[in-house]
Structure 1
Amino acid sequence: MSRAGWAIDIDRNDITQAELVAETAAPLAPGQVRVGLDSFAMTANNITYAVFGQPAGLFGDNQGYWDFFSEPGAPGRLPVWGFATVAESAAEGVAPGERFYGYYPMAAEAVLTVGKAGPGGFTDATPRRTTLPPIYNQYQRVETLEGYRAADHDYWPIFRPLFLTGWLIADQFEDEGDYGADQILIASASSKTAIGLGFSIARREGPRPETVGMTSKAHVADLGTQGIYDRVIAYDDIMTLNAGAATALVDMAGNGAVIRAVHSHFGGNLKASIAVGKSHWNAHGGEGALPGPDRQWFFAPGRSQKRIADWGAAAFGQEVAAAWRAFMDVAPRLTSIDRRRGAEAALAAYREMLSGRADPKAGIVVEP
């Protein structure tokens, strides 16, 4: 087979350098499938994947997000969440025409290696992926996705992985007694992970900390009307908060000025400082000595694995599905779908997200 396709190559050492490249489909090896991507999302989370493409020790053994879809030394292939249809199969248990939700490269097509396939889907068994977090290697049949409704289809790649991260952060806070905090400051509050966190905390029964969404001044009014957070403030107003209140910070963006302002203002009353993402990839991350607690990195795959071990996979899936369905009842009023088509549109969407110009109220869906 010699069908032409496309992919986007990104310089591992300079993520601003990205280009479209042509690809020719090679014959499949036994156990492989070729899928054509139907749609995928472009969010700030993808920029975090690029920033942490090759950090030492993120996944152990010096592996990072580039290792999912590119060999060492080759240009990076950005991971994206989306839907794909099997175009060709040399694997048992997976047939052409079947559709799967999962983790793909930003490209027209992908070749996956099928581990044991079951009713719900399969796990990719490409050798370089077997030591990476398993949550990223699972491909789920659309027909068996727990919590899936056809009306929510476009929101799955936009929100599902980010909502899950937010839900897991909320779960960790509850598990840790909210770190003794009476209020939780959530930076980059218009981000989709932050919205998932705020929504999940608001659903808790009984006493809970107040949630304070922090965003740029231009977004305060719109974000306040969404009802996700108890309060919304501008970054410029951090110093107006009560410095004596027991506080926790959840940082989605890695903006060093915001991190330092919060740590300096609250000092010893800051009970936890949790870093989640790095969408402000070119801003200093607040490294160095800071007043208050050490910063903690939140790693969603690790938290997922803990809860699966605690509750069992079935119970974990049911908990997530129930929360997701509740969120899907409000998601359409929070985010509109911004649909893009084709290779050039995919590259433009990446550059737009990288620049920070993307509209936080829109969810970009690319159809290759």
Structure 2
Amino acid sequence: MTQTEQVIRLFTDKSAIGTTHIDSQDENLSLEDGQILVALDSFGLSSNNITYAALGDWLNYWKFFPTGNDAYGHMPVWGFANVVASANPDIAVGERFYGYFPISSHLRMQPSRVTARGFHDDMPHRRELVSAYNFYTRCSTDAGYSPDMEDYQMLFRPLFITSYMLADFLADNDYFGAKRLVVSSASSKTAYGTAYCLAGQDDVEVVALTSARNAEFVQSLDCYDKVVSYEELNTLGQEVPTAYIDFSGATDLRMRIHKCFGDSLVYDCFVGTAANTGERVKVDVPGPKPVFFFAPDQIKKRNKDWGPEGVTERFSAQEKVFYLKLGEGATPWMEVVSRRGMEGAQEFIATLFNTGGDPRQGMVVKL
């Protein structure tokens, strides 16, 4: 089967991840038996994607979609794609899938373990990478899918699965003895998703740590027990066993946290970097060493505990309620802002890298 298409890609400069350029060329996308060709339709962008790039070499994010040039990478995104050609009897042209894609007009894939739920991409270079990122969900059978909620799903499912599993991980470990969780970059979507999942837990206080600029927004979410600015950190008492949940990745803030709480700091959980520092967890700090939280590890544990269907059922139920929460009321938690084409993606990426973006906005690109 011969398929020639103009393929448009957005490449990220690995040494300056806020810098991107558009590459366009005609390619022969012939399919081997069992393969499919998909066209990316739409995707979300958030600080999560900046994290993928910042940690791209460390956590192998660059390896999912090789560019053939070590200086440039394909920033991964979560979105929807349609099948435009198929040499696979179990997948039809026109089917729509949700999953992990490069910012590229087309992607050739090798589906394996095809079921009613979806498939895994079995391209040779992906076989040794984290399985959770290789699974693509068939929209027609996805219990959590709704056409009018696609924007929320693109923006929040990859974040909310981290939020849900992080909250579950902390509760599963009795918060490591903490009675207070201090959450940095509390205005970030993954952070307040975690706080939402933890709401109602009487045995632990969830404290938002945020910039003075975002304090009003974080307060309006009403999912944290207390909101303090970074300048007010020292107003938190040291007598309560405390865990630090780090969505910031800022080395100087981590040091301040450790010095502020001293012996009362019982756990340091590094979730990701909302800043553009590319900071690693191997830093010299007093007290507990930072431990990196990787959502697929907790998913793997819960797959054994609850079974994959049980995990999907529990997560989907929570996800649907959360999406409704995002858009309700006179001042919804999030406003979707969309742009067209690769140029729109470039604009959003530069904004996220340079400023972190507006916490009330969700950025969606339509191709």
What TM bracket, shorter-length normalisation? over 0.9
The answer to whether structure 1 residue 136 and structure 2 residue 113 are counterparts is: no
Counterpart of 1:202? 199
- Which residue number corresponds to residue 347 of structure 1? 346
1:281, distance to aligned residue in structure 2 (A): 2.2
- Say if 1:268 and 1:293, in contact at 8 Å, map to a contact too: no
- Cα offset for 1:108? 1.7
Query: What percent identity do the matched residue pairs reach?
Result: 33
> Quick one: distance in 2 between partners of 1:225 and 1:122?
40
Output one character per residue of 1:103-162: Cα deviation in whole Å (capped at 9) or x when no partner: 000122211111132211111000111111111111111121122233322100101110
Q: TM-score, normalised by structure 1?
A: 0.93
The alpha carbon displacement at 1:282 in A equals: 2.3
Output the CA distance in 1 between the equivalents of 2:316 and 2:229. 33
Q: Does 1:264 align with 2:284?
A: no
- Asked whether the equivalents of residues 36 and 110 of structure 1 are also in contact (C-alpha less than 8 Å), the reply is yes
State the 1:88 CA deviation: 1.0
1:214 partnered with 2:209: yes
Q: Within 5 A, what are the aligned runs for 1:8-23?
A: 8-23=10-25
CA–CA separation in structure 1 for the residues paired with 2:134 and 2:278: 31
CA 1:29 to 1:281, structure 2 compared with 1: closer, same or farther past 3 Å? same
Distance 1:357 1:296 in 2: 24
Q: Which residue is 1:123 aligned to?
A: 120
Distance in 2 between residues matched to 1:315 and 1:32, nearest whole Å? 30
Q: Does the 8 Å contact 2:11/2:21 carry over to 1? A: yes
* Structure 1 residues 52 and 193, CA gap change in structure 2 (3 angstroms): same
Unaligned runs of 5+ in 2: none
Task: Select between 351-360 and 77-86 the one with higher mean Cα deviation.
Answer: 351-360
Q: Residue 62 of structure 2: which of 49, 60, 66 is its match?
A: 66
Write the deviation string for residues 339-359 of structure 1: whole angstroms up to 9, x where unpaired.
111111111111111112411
- Residue in 1 that maps onto 2:52: 49
**CA–CA distance in structure 2, aligned partners of residues 95 and 288 of structure 1:** 50
| Alignment correspondent of 1:321 | 316
Match of 1:295 among 250, 270, 290: 290
Pairwise CA distance, 1:283: 7.0
Structure 1 contact 337–365 (Cα < 8 Å) conserved: yes
Offset of residue 30 of structure 1: 2.3
Q: CA deviation at 1:277?
A: 0.6
SS for the counterpart of 1:337 is: strand
Q: Which residue of 2 aligns with 1:178?
A: 175
Question: Which stretch of structure 1 is more off in the superposition, 216-225 or 72-81?
Answer: 72-81
Q: Compared with structure 1, are the counterparts of its residues 143 and 272 closer, same or farther at alpha carbon in structure 2 (3 Å cutoff)?
A: same
The 1:284–1:85 alpha-carbon spacing in structure 2 relative to 1, beyond 3 Å, is closer
Q: Residue 18 of structure 2 contacts residue 354 of structure 2 at CA under 8 Å; is this kept in 1?
A: no
Partner of 2:78: 81
> In the TM superposition, what is the alpha-carbon distance from 1:291 to its structure 2 partner?
2.0
Q: Distance in 2 between matches of 1:357 and 1:275?
A: 18
Q: Which moved more, 1:14-23 or 1:250-259?
A: 14-23
Cα deviation per residue 1:263-322 (whole Å; 9 max; x = unaligned)?
A: 110011001110011221227567532122111000011111111011111111111111
Question: Separation in 1 of the partners of 2:232 and 2:280?
Answer: 20
Q: Which residue of 1 aligns with 2:4?
A: 2
Q: 1:106 aligns with which of 103, 108, 114?
A: 103
Normalising to structure 2: TM-score of the pair? 0.94
Which residue is 1:61 aligned to? none
Is 1:253 aligned to residue 248 of structure 2? yes
Deviation at 1:12, TM superposition (A): 3.0
Structure 1 counterpart of 2:57, which letter?
Answer: Q
Q: Deviations over 1:65-101 (max 9, x none)?
A: 0111115644311110001111111222111100000
1:225-283 CA distance string (max 9 Å, x none): 11111111111110111012111110012011221111110011001110011221227
1:237 matched to 2:201? The reply is no
Q: Is the 8 A contact 1:346 1:366 kept in 2?
A: yes
Q: 2 CA distance for matches of 1:105 and 1:284?
A: 24
RMSD: 1.6
* Residue in 2 that maps onto 1:330: 325
Please say which of residues 13-22 and 91-100 is displaced more in the overlay. 13-22
* Contact kept? 2:326, 2:333, Cα under 8 Å: yes
- Residue 192 (structure 1) aligned with residue 189 (structure 2): yes
The runs of at least 4 consecutive aligned structure 1 residues that moved more than 4 Å come to 71-74, 283-287
Contact 1:31 1:90 in 2 (8 A): yes
Deviations for 1:152-190, whole angstroms, at most 9, x for unmatched residues?
221001011101101111111111111111110110011
Is the partner of 1:334 in helix, strand or coil?
Answer: coil
Question: In structure 2, the residue corresponding to 1:345 is in which secondary structure?
Answer: helix
Whole-Å separation in 2 of the counterparts to 1:135 and 1:284: 24
CA distance in 2, matches of 1:46, 1:269: 33
